C-alpha cells in the first residue's frame, strides 16, 4: 500500500508552507524599491537635521546683535514696567503716568426680577452691540429670552468684545451690567435693540448721547457706570495717549506696561520717574559660546550625513559594494558646497570690519583638527574651540572690535552678514513676497517626490505579488485535489487486486 505524502492538504501537500516559501521568494522583488525608499527618507531626515542646525545658528547671530552687542537693561519703576526689544538704545527719560486706561461699563435700570421678560410680544428682536468703530455684534432674542439673565447669557454665548453679568442692585433688585473687553475709547459700547421698542427702552445706550440719571437723565434707560478712559503718560514733557495700558509705540524698542498713576509730591503734582536704559553686554560671552556650539552642531550634522566608509568586499569574484554605513548624503554636491561655504565664512578674514580683530582666531576661537588647533587651517573639516582666557581678555579690553568682527563696521560686513548670505541661499528668505525657497527645501521637495513615486511602485509590486500568490494557491488546490483523487483511485485498485488475488 502506497504511503501518501504527509502534509495539510487532502493529498498530503503542505500548501501553507509552500505558499509561505513562495511569498518569501517573491518579496525579495521589493528589496530594490525598499532600499530606494529608505535612502530617500534618510536623505530627507539628514537635510532636516542640517536645516535645524542652521536655523539655530541664524537665531543665535540675531540674538548676538539684538541682545548681545546692542543689548540694554532697564531699571525698575513703580508706576510702570518697561521692557526693551529690538531697536532700544541707551538713554534716559522722565516719565509720568497721568491716567490708566479703563474699560467702558454700562448698566440697565434696576429691575424687580432677573427672570421676568422685559420685552413685548414680537416676531423677532435683535440686540446690536458695537464696540468703538468695530463690527457690530447681533444678538438674536426670542420672546422668552428678554429677561436680564437670558440677555446676559445670549451676549456671553457670542464670545464677542463684551461680557455681561446680572448684578444685585438696591432694595433687592437686579441690573444687567455690560463691560467692554477693550480699554479706552476703542472699547466704547453702543447698544441698540431693533424690533422691540419696550426692550429698547431698557437696553439702548449711545455713548455719543450719554445718559446720566444722577443728573436729570432718564432713570428707566441704560446708563454709564464707568466711562471709557484712555491711558495718558508724558515722556520728557510730551503727552502720549493710547487706549491700552500696554504701549509699544512711544519709544522705539521700549514697551510700557502701565501699573498705576504716578505718585504726587507735596504740592499735589505728579512726580516723574526716571526710565534708565543702559548698555548691557553681559550676554555677549554666553552668546559667542553658543555660536561656537551651534556651529559645531552644524558640522556634526553635516559630517554624519556625508560620512564615508570603506566599500564592503563581496564574495570571490564579486565587485565591492558601497558600505551601508555611509552617510545618507555621502557624495551630495549641495551639502559639500554648503559645508565649504560655512567653513570659509566662519574662518575668513574681516580686515575691513576691525583694526585689531580680523579673524575668530584672533579672539581665541580656533579650528581643531584631530586635537590640533590653528586658525590658519582651511577646508571643510574641523570644529571650533575656545581659548576662554583669550576671549575674556578681548571682551574686556576691546568689545567694540569684537562687535565689528561679528556684526561689521562702517558698512563693511562681518561674520553675521557673510553667514546670512549662506542662510538665504540654503534656508530661503521668508521676508520676501513671494517667499524665496532655499536649496535645502528644494532638495527635500525633490526627494519627497521621488519617495512618493517609489512608494507607488512598492504598492503596485505588492499587489502583483499578492495576485501571484493567489494564483499559486488556486493551482496548489487543484493539484491537491487531483493528487487526492489519484490516491483514492490507487487505493481502490489495490483493494480490487487484493480481492481478486484473495
Which residue has 553635516 as its cell numbers? 302
Q: Determine the pLDDT at residue 379.
A: 40
Domain spans, the chain: 6-71+281-307+325-502, 72-100+230-279, 103-226
Cα torsion 115, 118, 124, 128: sign? negative
Q: Provide the residue-wise pLDDT of the chain in tens; the chain has 502 residues.
A: 344 334 455 666 777 888 888 888 888 888 888 889 988 999 999 999 999 999 999 999 999 998 899 889 998 999 999 999 888 999 999 999 999 999 999 999 999 999 999 999 877 899 999 999 888 999 999 999 999 999 999 999 999 999 999 999 999 999 999 999 999 999 999 999 999 999 999 999 999 888 888 777 788 889 999 999 999 999 999 999 999 999 999 999 999 999 999 999 999 999 999 999 998 888 999 999 999 999 999 999 999 999 887 777 765 556 656 677 788 999 899 999 999 999 999 999 998 876 789 999 999 999 887 654 444 444 445 899 999 999 999 998 898 899 999 999 888 899 999 999 999 999 998 777 567 789 999 999 999 999 999 999 989 988 988 888 888 888 888 887 888 878 778 888 888 888 787 6
CB 131 within 8 A of CB 161: yes
Measured between alpha carbons, how far is 93 from 276 in angstroms, rounded to an integer?
Answer: 7
- Inter-CA distances, 158 with 151, 154, 253, Å: 11, 7, 36
Residue 384 — φ and ψ, nearest 5°?
-85, 145
Strand-by-strand arrangement of the 372-373 sheet:
372-373, 365-369, 383-386
3-state secondary structure of 495: helix
Which residue has 427702552 as its cell numbers? 201
Within this chain, domains 6-71+281-307+325-502 and 103-226 share the same CATH topology: no
Strand-by-strand arrangement of the 80-84 sheet:
80-84, 254-258, 246-251
Domain 103-226: which CATH number of 1.10.3470, 3.20.20, 2.60.40, 1.20.1250: 2.60.40
Q: How many residues does the chain have?
A: 502
CB neighbours of residue 258 within 10 Å? 23
Q: Determine the pLDDT at residue 433.
A: 56
3-state secondary structure of 192: strand
Measured between alpha carbons, how far is 410 from 280 in angstroms, rounded to an integer?
Answer: 22
CB 40 within 8 A of CB 48: no
CB 174 within 8 A of CB 167: yes
pLDDT 10s digits, 307-320: 887 777 765 556 65
pTM, whole model, 2 decimals? 0.66
Alpha helices in 258-315 (DSSP H): 284-305
Measured between alpha carbons, how far is 367 from 379 in angstroms, rounded to an integer?
Answer: 10
Q: Domain 6-71+281-307+325-502 belongs to what architecture?
A: Up-down Bundle (1.20)
Measured between alpha carbons, how far is 318 from 231 in angstroms, rounded to an integer?
Answer: 83
Q: In the numeric block, which cell numbers belong to residue 150? A: 437670558
Closest Cα to residue 49, out of 289, 329, 291, 325?
329
- Rounded to 10°, the helix 388-397/284-305 angle is 140
Task: For residue 226, list its beta bridge partners.
Answer: 105
Amino acid at each position: 500500500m502506497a504511503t501518501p505524502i504527509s502534509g495539510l492538504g487532502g493529498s498530503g501537500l503542505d500548501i501553507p508552507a509552500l505558499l509561505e516559501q513562495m511569498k518569501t521568494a517573491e518579496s525579495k522583488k521589493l528589496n530594490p524599491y525598499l532600499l530606494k525608499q529608505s535612502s530617500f527618507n534618510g536623505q530627507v531626515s539628514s537635510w532636516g537635521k542640517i536645516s535645524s542646525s542652521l536655523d539655530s545658528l541664524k537665531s543665535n547671530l540675531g540674538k548676538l546683535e539684538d541682545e548681545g552687542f546692542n543689548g540694554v537693561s532697564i531699571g525698575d519703576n513703580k508706576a510702570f514696567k518697561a521692557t526693551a526689544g529690538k531697536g532700544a538704545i541707551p538713554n534716559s527719560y522722565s516719565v509720568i503716568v497721568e491716567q490708566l486706561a479703563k474699560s467702558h461699563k454700562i448698566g440697565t435700570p434696576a429691575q424687580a426680577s432677573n427672570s421676568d421678560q422685559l420685552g413685548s410680544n414680537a416676531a423677532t428682536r435683535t440686540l446690536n452691540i458695537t464696540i468703538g468703530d468695530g463690527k457690530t455684534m447681533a444678538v438674536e432674542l426670542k420672546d422668552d429670552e428678554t429677561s436680564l439673565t437670558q440677555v446676559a447669557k445670549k451676549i456671553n454665548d457670542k464670545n464677542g468684545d463684551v461680557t455681561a453679568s446680572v448684578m444685585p442692585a438696591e432694595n433687592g433688585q437686579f441690573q444687567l451690567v455690560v463691560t467692554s473687553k477693550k480699554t479706552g475709547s476703542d472699547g466704547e459700547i453702543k447698544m441698540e435693540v431693533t424690533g422691540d421698542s419696550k426692550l429698547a427702552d431698557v437696553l439702548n445706550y449711545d455713548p455719543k448721547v450719554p445718559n446720566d440719571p444722577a443728573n436729570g437723565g432718564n432713570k428707566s434707560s441704560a446708563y454709564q457706570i464707568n466711562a471709557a478712559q484712555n491711558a495718558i503718560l508724558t515722556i520728557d514733557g510730551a503727552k502720549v495717549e493710547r487706549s491700552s495700558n500696554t504701549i509699544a509705540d512711544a519709544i522705539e524698542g521700549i514697551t510700557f506696561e502701565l501699573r498705576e498713576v504716578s505718585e504726587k509730591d507735596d504740592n499735589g503734582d505728579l512726580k516723574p520717574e526716571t526710565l534708565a536704559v543702559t548698555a548691557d553686554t553681559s550676554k555677549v560671552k554666553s552668546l559667542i559660546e553658543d555660536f561656537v556650539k551651534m556651529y559645531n552642531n552644524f558640522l556634526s550634522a553635516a559630517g554624519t550625513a556625508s560620512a564615508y566608509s570603506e566599500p564592503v568586499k563581496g564574495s570571490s569574484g564579486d565587485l565591492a559594494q558601497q558600505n551601508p554605513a555611509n552617510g545618507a548624503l555621502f557624495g551630495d554636491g549641495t551639502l559639500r558646497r554648503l559645508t565649504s561655504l560655512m567653513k570659509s565664512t566662519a574662518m575668513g578674514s574681516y580686515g575691513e570690519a576691525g583694526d585689531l580683530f580680523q579673524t575668530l582666531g584672533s579672539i581665541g576661537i580656533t579650528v581643531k583638527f584631530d586635537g590640533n588647533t590653528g586658525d590658519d587651517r582651511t577646508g571643510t573639516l574641523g570644529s571650533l574651540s575656545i581659548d576662554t582666557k583669550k576671549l575674556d581678555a578681548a571682551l574686556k579690553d576691546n568689545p567694540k572690535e569684537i562687535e565689528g568682527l561679528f556684526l561689521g563696521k562702517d558698512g563693511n560686513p562681518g561674520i553675521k552678514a557673510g553667514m546670512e548670505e549662506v542662510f538665504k541661499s540654503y534656508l530661503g528668505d521668508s521676508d520676501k513676497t513671494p517667499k524665496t525657497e532655499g536649496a535645502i527645501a528644494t532638495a527635500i521637495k525633490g526627494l519627497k517626490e521621488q519617495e512618493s513615486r517609489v512608494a507607488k511602485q512598492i504598492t503596485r509590486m505588492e499587489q502583483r505579488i499578492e495576485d501571484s500568490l493567489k494564483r499559486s494557491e488556486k493551482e496548489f488546490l487543484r493539484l491537491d485535489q487531483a493528487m487526492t483523487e489519484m490516491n483514492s483511485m490507487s487505493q481502490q485498485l489495490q483493494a480490487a487486486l487484493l480481492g481478486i488475488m484473495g
